[in-house]
Amino acid sequence: MPSKICRLTLGTVCLSLLIISVSANKPSKSENKALESAGLGLGIEIALEKPFYIPAGTATKGMAAVIKIPLSSNLKSQGISAVKLVPQMTDGKVKVTVFVLKGDATNLKSCKELNQLKSTKIDTIVAGPNKEVAITKLRDYGGVLKFRVVPKKVFPDFGGIGGEGCGCATCGNLACCPNPNSCMGCGTCGTACCVQE
């Protein structure tokens, strides 16, 4: 009985911290550390036909989203095939590093395959909770992409709290939970890769 009360109390505290951080629109460093240590935090929701959610990671473990973008024909001839977004928690906000990729980005199964693609960093964006951001530097590559910083979704049975993986991405209602150092297709949204060092 006491362990159920402790779990209920811990769950209530974590949920309260999440509600406070989202409603305050700028969590303090101590709230951010509490959210991260509880397996919570932030993620990004990429505006596609179906929303593509990716949880923000840490310096040693996180998820990357690989998305095909509509490109002009002259850039397709240069081999640019996709964009990669890597969200990472930093001081209560999410830092999103944006890359364009050259090479075949379809059917990626591992981070090793992802790393074999030519990757060019084009932008780094830092945004707080509930902020919507347009990746304007993608216009140079013929694409437009937006994302919004959202509360982190928790999937305790699939690499979420206490799991070895990076958590789960979602494409609409479809959950995609790649194993460590693996990639998996996530419906019509793109590919989710669990990157660990």
**pLDDT tens per residue across span 84-120:** 999 999 999 999 999 999 988 888 999 999 999 999 9
Is 20 part of any domain? no
Give the position of tokens 């980005």.
105
Is 131 part of any domain? yes
Mean pLDDT of 149-170: 72
Is 94 part of any domain? yes
Is 2 part of any domain? no
Is 76 part of any domain? yes
pLDDT at 14: 37
pLDDT band at 160 (very low <50, low <70, confident <90, very high): very low
Is 31 part of any domain? no
Mean pLDDT of 114-127: 94
Mean pLDDT of 33-49: 72
Domain region containing 118 = 40-196
| 48 to 67, 134, 172, 182: CA distances (angstroms) | 9, 12, 10, 23
Is 17 part of any domain? no
Residues whose CB falls within 8 Å of the CB of residue 93, separated by 6 or more in sequence, listed in order: 42, 126, 127, 128, 129, 149
Is 11 part of any domain? no
- Prediction pTM value: 0.76
Share of residues in the chain with pLDDT > 90 (%) = 51
pLDDT band at 189 (very low <50, low <70, confident <90, very high): very high
Say how many domains are in the chain.
1
